Amino acid sequence: MSHNNQKKIALINDMSGFGRCSIAVALPIISVMKVQCCALPTSIFSNHTGFENYFMEDFTEQMIPYIENWEKLDLRFNGICTGFLGSEKQIQIVSDFIRTFKKKETLVLVDPVMGDYGKPYSTYTPKMCQRMKELVKYADILTPNITEACILTDTPYKEKWKIKEIEEMAEKLSEQGPSRIVITGIPQKSYVANLCYEVNHAPSVIKVHRVGTERSGTGDIFASIVAADAVNGVNFQLSVKKASRFIKKCILRSMELDIPTTDGVCFEELLGSLR
């Protein structure tokens, strides 16, 4: 009996029990969009690192036997979605995973969670940044923020950008492998913009009004919606619009319910609208 009669996405990310990010966010979103989500954890957290205290268990050494059992089951994936990776070894494991499981029809989305506000995260060494550049070549879809796009293209970071400059970065990224790129979180006065770039298509900018403050997990929501839509054959720009508007609604609802920013967004309240 085949295990491959339903669309599936392999989701490679960490798991936080509380705080609404990573696998805890992506799994229900991908599932409600009628795609089976098969999670491969990179590490286990009691709650994400934005809290004062947290428990963490590194899952790196368990990832390989975990993957080997998926091979024994002959699992085949319509999509592979990668998020935060905590070490060079994890990036290598993910590269090997993609080479093993990617078939002609498999779409790979890489969310290169490397930094923000012009700086790489403290865990990201120059070697890790270089390894992430190597992972990007396997991506069909890439979803960096401006900081990550700068790191991946060796572009100096600055506070203010012209859209043309961001388009040029997207074009450089496409030369590394991905055919679809969305550079997220571009500040434009009272708006937040995302630049969509597709090979052989004119770039476009999708804007939503900025609301509230930044919260954990919104990038995971964005990548999950785009990944599930890609597997379901939805137009890329329409998918980015859907993800942007859904996140805005989630932030507004979280503000209505007075949810602490550390606790992410209460996407559960609006999950049904993604069906």
Query: Above 90 in pLDDT, residue 212?
Result: no
Which residue pairs, CB below 8 angstroms and at least 24 apart, start in 91-96? 91/128, 91/131, 91/132, 91/134, 91/135, 92/131, 93/60, 93/63, 93/64, 93/67, 94/12, 94/135, 95/134, 95/135, 95/138
Prediction pTM value? 0.96
CATH, range 8-268: 3.40.1190.20
DSSP state letter for 271: G
Q: What is the mean predicted confidence (pLDDT) over 136-149?
A: 97
Residue given tokens 């795609």 in the structure block = 35
**Residue 182 · residue 140 · CB < 8 Å:** no
Q: What mean pLDDT, rounded, does the chain reach?
A: 96
Which amino acid appears at position 156 of this protein?
P
- Mean pLDDT, residues 94-110 taken together: 97
Distance separating alpha carbons of residues 225 and 71, to the nearest angstrom: 26
Given a contact cutoff of 8 angstroms between Cβ atoms, the answer to whether 80 and 139 are in contact is no
Give the rounded percent of residues in the chain with a pLDDT score beyond 70. Answer: 100
Distance CA 168, CA 24 (A): 34
Domain boundaries, the chain: 8-268
Cα–Cα distance between 265 and 73 in angstroms, integer? 35
